[in-house]
């Protein structure tokens, strides 16, 4: 049984490597991250005292391009979690065929306990601490849990104040600072596109399907909105406080109109209140975990009633739960495809910054859907050809590409 998040991700990596019969030299290179940075992040608090946090940046594998990955602020974030998330990025970027390696960053903190000025100071302090290992052609950051365009703007400014104008050091920026229209919704839009593609491959349509979504942040709320626009019924949705359930389908646009930044779903008067445990066991066709890792584990997997799970969050299904779902005939669309709309959109933003050429939102969405469709079909074909589950098929495609880059560069 895996003991750490990183080991847990490696269960899937090793499964793909065995299927591919990859040589030992390549397996050794991808078993460990290339670089792990663990820094002190000190700031002056509003009351004049000094606060000190731990910050991490892990660069897993860079054979296919500059490292790329989000920055997460969470009280439970630690080096092990960031290592696992960095590894996921390696395989995701390769599967989508975007020219990046995998990285991730995190700071162990509760953002709700800090003022906006303190949060800005933390972001600048962290960026300065890791500035030697990041850069437009070295390692490019992006938003993740509890970080957003505002935080990315601070990262860009802190880095640029040392290196000169460098918008390409970070993606998911405000539009005025080199952000790209479509990026904010891209991960949620990708989740819906991949859900629709899977249903279509199974001979079904997204329209009329009942969806349950755990998570009402950047990914969950855009996925809900876009899926509802395409005719799906969102019968349940939750945030950290619990969720709302409406068997006939939530009026998502109406719900979004009721929530201000900071509003919790337990406070909103829509349908019935459900706990997160109850939400995961609601009757539906598609369950979309879009919050945090290991939301579905050995302890609660038996309560799942969906026939399809689409992993919008990173690693929301533990390997034990994954095995139980496979045994029960539940199909799981893996995170490295399901939430890859984010990094694909980040790739467009990065190219736009490097070339100083602006994209329209129409171009962005069209290219996004093309990249996701190509990756979906490659994964699906591998799944059918090799008789393996979707996750193993996705990792096999990614692993093949990383291994080839490693060999071509003479690294193994
Ligand atoms: P976010 O901070 O915007 O939202 C997270 C949501 O999860 C919030 O609604 C929060 O209340 C909820 N949540 C937190 N803890 C919970 C719990 N214990 N139970 C139920 N809900 C809980 O984060 P996000 O950017 O939407 O990211 C969500 C997931 O998607 C993460 O796994 C992240 O790594 C992944 N992801 C995000 C992006 C992106 O572009 N933002 C891209 C790829 C993957």
Q: Per residue in 361-372, pLDDT tens?
A: 999 999 999 999
Q: Whose CA is nearest to atom 30 of ligand 1?
A: 313
Q: Which atom of ligand 1 is nearest to the CA of 312?
A: 30
Give the residue, 25 or 227, on which the prediction is more confident: 227
Check whether 110 has a pLDDT greater than 70: yes
| Least confident interval from 79-83, 90-94, 261-265, 382-386 | 261-265
For ligand 1, whether the C-beta of 5 sits within 6 Å is no
Nearest CA to 256 out of 188, 191, 309 is that of: 188
Which of ligand 1's atoms lies nearest the C-alpha of 315?
Answer: 32
Please determine, for residue 347, whether its predicted confidence score (pLDDT) is greater than 60. yes
d(CA 256, CA 251): 9
Q: Which of 202, 224, 203, 204 has its CA nearest to residue 213?
A: 224
259 lines ligand 1 (CB under 6 A): no
Strands in 109-163 per DSSP E: 139-143
Which residue's alpha carbon is nearest to atom 39 within ligand 1?
144
Q: Give me the active site residues, please.
A: 104
Q: Is 143 helix (H, G, I), strand (E, B) or coil?
A: strand
Distance from the alpha carbon of residue 131 to the mean position of ligand 1, in angstroms: 26
Is 314 in a helix, a strand, or coil?
A: coil
Q: How far is CA 44 from CA 3, 10, 115, 124, in A?
A: 36, 39, 12, 12
Q: Report the C-alpha gap between 412 and 407 in whole angstroms.
A: 5
Rg from Cα positions in the chain: 20
Element (H, E) at 304: none
Query: What is the whole-number distance in angstroms between the Cα of residue 223 and the centre of ligand 1?
Result: 12
Which residue's structure tokens are 């996750």?
Answer: 391
Over pLDDT 90: what percentage of the chain?
Answer: 97
Alpha carbon distance 129, 39 (integer Å): 7
Q: Is 215 in the pocket of ligand 1 (CB under 6 A)?
A: yes
Locate the ligand 1 atom nearest the alpha carbon of residue 85 and give its number.
Answer: 34
For ligand 1, atom 33, which residue shows the shortest CA distance? 313
Q: Give residue-wise pLDDT tens across range 286-314.
A: 999 999 999 999 999 999 999 999 999 99
User: In this prediction, what percent of the chain has a pLDDT beyond 70?
Assistant: 100
Question: What are the DSSP E strand ranges found in 304-382?
Answer: 308-310, 331-333
Q: Is 131 helix (H, G, I), strand (E, B) or coil?
A: helix
- Asked whether the beta carbons of 188 and 226 are under 8 A apart, the reply is yes
DSSP H/E element including 43: strand 35-44
For residue 202, count other CB atoms closer than 10 A to its CB. Answer: 10
Contact status, residue 214 vs residue 288, Cβ threshold 8 Å: yes
Distance 313 CA to ligand 1 centre (A): 6
Q: Which residue has the tokens 């997460």?
A: 72
Residue 308's φ and ψ, nearest 5 degrees, are -140, 130
Distance (Å) from CA 290 to ligand 1 centroid: 6
Q: What is the pLDDT of residue 1?
A: 55
For the Cβ of 313 lying below 6 angstroms from any atom of ligand 1, the answer is yes
Decide: 238 in ligand 1 pocket, CB within 6 A. yes
**Could you tell me what percentage of the chain is helix, strand and coil, using 3-state DSSP and rounding each to the nearest 5?**
50, 20, 30
Q: Look-up: residue for tokens 């050809």?
A: 385
d(CA 287, CA 214): 8
């Amino acid at each position: 049984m895996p003991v750490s998040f990183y080991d847990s991700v490696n269960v899937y990596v090793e499964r793909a490597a065995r299927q591919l019969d990859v040589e030992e030299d390549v397996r050794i290179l991808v078993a460990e991250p290339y670089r792990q940075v663990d820094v002190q992040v000190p700031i002056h608090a509003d009351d004049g005292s000094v606060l000190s946090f731990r910050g991490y940046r892990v660069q897993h594998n860079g054979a296919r391009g500059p490292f790329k990955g989000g920055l997460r602020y969470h009280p439970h974030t630690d080096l092990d979690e960031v290592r696992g998330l960095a590894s996921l990025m390696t395989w995701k970027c390769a599967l989508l065929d975007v020219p990046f390696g995998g990285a991730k960053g995190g700071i162990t903190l509760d953002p709700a306990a800090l003022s906006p000025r303190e949060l800005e100071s933390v972001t600048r302090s962290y960026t300065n601490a890791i500035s030697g290992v990041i850069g437009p052609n070295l390692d490019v950051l992006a938003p993740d849990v509890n970080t957003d365009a505002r935080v990315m703007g601070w990262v860009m400014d802190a880095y640029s104040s040392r290196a000169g104008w460098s918008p390409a050091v970070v993606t998911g920026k405000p539009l005025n600072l080199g952000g790209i229209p479509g990026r904010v919704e891209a991960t949620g839009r990708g989740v819906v596109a991949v859900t629709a593609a899977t249903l279509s491959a199974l001979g079904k349509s997204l329209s009329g399907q009942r969806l349950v979504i755990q998570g009402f942040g950047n990914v969950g709320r855009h996925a809900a909105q876009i899926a509802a626009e395409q005719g799906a019924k969102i019968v349940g949705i939750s945030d950290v406080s619990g969720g709302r359930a409406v068997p006939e389908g939530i009026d998502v646009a109406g719900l979004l109109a009721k929530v201000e930044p900071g509003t919790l779903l337990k406070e909103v008067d829509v349908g019935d209140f459900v706990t997160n445990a109850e939400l995961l066991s609601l009757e539906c066709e598609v369950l979309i975990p879009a919050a945090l890792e290991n939301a579905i584990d050995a302890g609660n997997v038996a309560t799942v009633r969906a026939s399809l799970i689409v992993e919008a969050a990173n690693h929301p299904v533990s390997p034990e739960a994954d095995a139980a779902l496979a045994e029960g005939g539940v199909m799981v669309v893996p995170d490295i495809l399901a939430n890859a709309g984010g990094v694909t959109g980040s790739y467009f933003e990065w190219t736009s910054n490097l070339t100083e050429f602006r994209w329209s939102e129409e171009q962005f969405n069209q290219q996004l859907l093309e990249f996701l469709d190509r990756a979906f079909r490659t994964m699906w074909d591998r799944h059918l050809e090799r008789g393996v589950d979707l996750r193993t098929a996705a990792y096999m495609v990614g692993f093949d590409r990383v291994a080839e880059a490693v060999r071509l560069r003479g690294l193994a």
